Amino acid sequence: MKNPNFKLYLASLVMAGLSSCNSNDNLEADTFASTSKFKIINVTTDGRPFSTGKSSSSTTAKYVANPGGGVMMQAFYWDVPAGGTWWDTVKSKVTAWGNAGIGSVWLPPASKAQSGALSMGYDPTDYFDFGNYNQNGSTETRFGSKTELVNLITQAHAENMQVYADIVINHNSGGQLESNPFTGTQTYTNFTGVASGKFPRTSADFYKNSYGTNDEGSFGGFPDLCHAAPNVQNWLWLRTDGVGKYYKNTMKFDGWRFDYVKGFGAWVVNSWNANVGGFTVGENWDSNVDNLNNWANSANSSVFDFACYYKMNDAFDGNNLALLNDDMMWKRNPYKAVTFVTNHDTDEIWNKKLAYAYILTHEGYPTIFYRDYEEWLDKAKLNNLIWIHNNKATGTTSILYADNDEYVARRNGYNGNPGLVVYINNSSTTLERWVPTNWVSTQIKDFTGNSTWIPTTQADKWVKIQCPPNSYTIWSSNL
């Protein structure tokens, strides 16, 4: 859905001259247990962390990306240019995105909506009109024609990228008036005349009806689809020529982002997955981790990690990085967590460069927002983080240190991949810290280029690293 208040991101970085690091500082090693996934770390008087023993167990190892790879691009924003050019715009960029390491593209709702060529697609009328029928005042959608959409999907697949469709199945809009026996009034619930002739529906398919007065939630006064109705189930996910299977088998979409999943039961997405297949992620706008995790498990689907989003906002903009110790969906179940910094609905995080450094080094399925990548932030730095994510961010996560200004975490590596150590500094001065690593007597470097130090880890795997002000460094070996 829509939140039209976008912030333009402005950031500047003044880097101080950096001296080389002496890796032979002789500090006595403390015991550090690395068998658990998350650890809250305190600091001894000699500056080296020790484990408090607070941890949570995990059986996960390397994060295996959902279909399409380890980084997703949200390939739109609210009110992208109208005029039917957006599919061609995205098509012109997918090769460069693929070369940068982006593995999947999330597109806006692709079918004809009530506002025709002006609509962002969240008021759907005809699920089978991709800009090829003259209805609702236009033939093309806001984004273009069916042919242009097919060409975009084909090009993305040629670049070995997956394509996910935003799908709105909570509500419909643009129906004709009919006498509604369930309300005793005239309602806009007659969709029997849609131009495609597919998924005809009437008042019997919307609440209130013979199945009840409502389901989990309605939105904006739009007619609320009743997923308990056989006609709705058949056309959405059961029929071979229904919405889900047509999107997958004919249009060649690889998965779906389900809009406003609070409006219907998790069983709907679960049944969709069982009958259609493909990747799915739900927009369950909720910062409560229990609610996110319960929905993801019930739906057998990924879910956007709103808990992580709001913690990052408070941590990076509120100068309290210790909040990153708190619970998040990616810590509960990284295989079902889709992390993000901004989307078309909400843009609250100001210190985005630190937030992207966080999600692209941690577990979960990170998403990059189109305008952040193409307009607002430093694309070269984002490409660097994407490369680090795809090549170094492996294994479970150990949080090594966190306070108001500093956050240090280690990815523990997997299957011969060395993992990494990420150091985030939200203060105005350069900081240094001793940390335990994955490597014995190994030369490491900062793969972001924000530090020129090239230290060597000690025999006990400890090393001193640094981070410039309001910045991040990401350390690993060359293995």
C-alpha distances in Å from residue 255, one per residue of 54, 296, 368? 38, 16, 17
The catalytically annotated residue of 123, 205, 259, 374 is: 259
**Which of 123, 140, 283, 347 is an active site residue?**
283
Known binding residue 224? Answer is yes
Distance (Å, whole) CA 44 – CA 160: 49
Alpha helix segments (H runs only) across 125-265:
146-158, 230-233, 243-249
The kind and range of the H/E element at 52 are: strand 49-56
In the annotation, is 363 catalytic?
no
How many beta carbons lie within 10 A of that of residue 5, not counting itself? 10
267 token code pair? 């069983």
Amino acid, res. 231 = N
Instruction: Determine contact, residues 215/263, Cβ cutoff 8 Å.
Output: yes
Measured CA to CA, the distance from residue 135 to residue 82 in angstroms comes to 17
Q: Is 170 labeled as ligand-binding?
A: yes
205 labelled ligand-binding:
no
Q: How is 29-48 classified by DSSP, letter by letter?
A: PPP---SSSEEEEEE-TTS-
Strand partners, 365: 338
Write the DSSP symbol of residue 159.
T
Q: What Å distances lie between residue 280 and 272, 331, 462, CA to CA?
A: 9, 19, 41
259 is catalytic: yes
DSSP 278-341: SEEEE------HHHHHHHHHHHTSEEE-HHHHHHHHHHHHTT-GGGGGS--HHHH-GGGEEEES
Catalytic residues: 259, 283
Annotated binding site for Ca(2+): 170, 224, 405
Q: Write out the binding residues.
A: 170, 224, 405
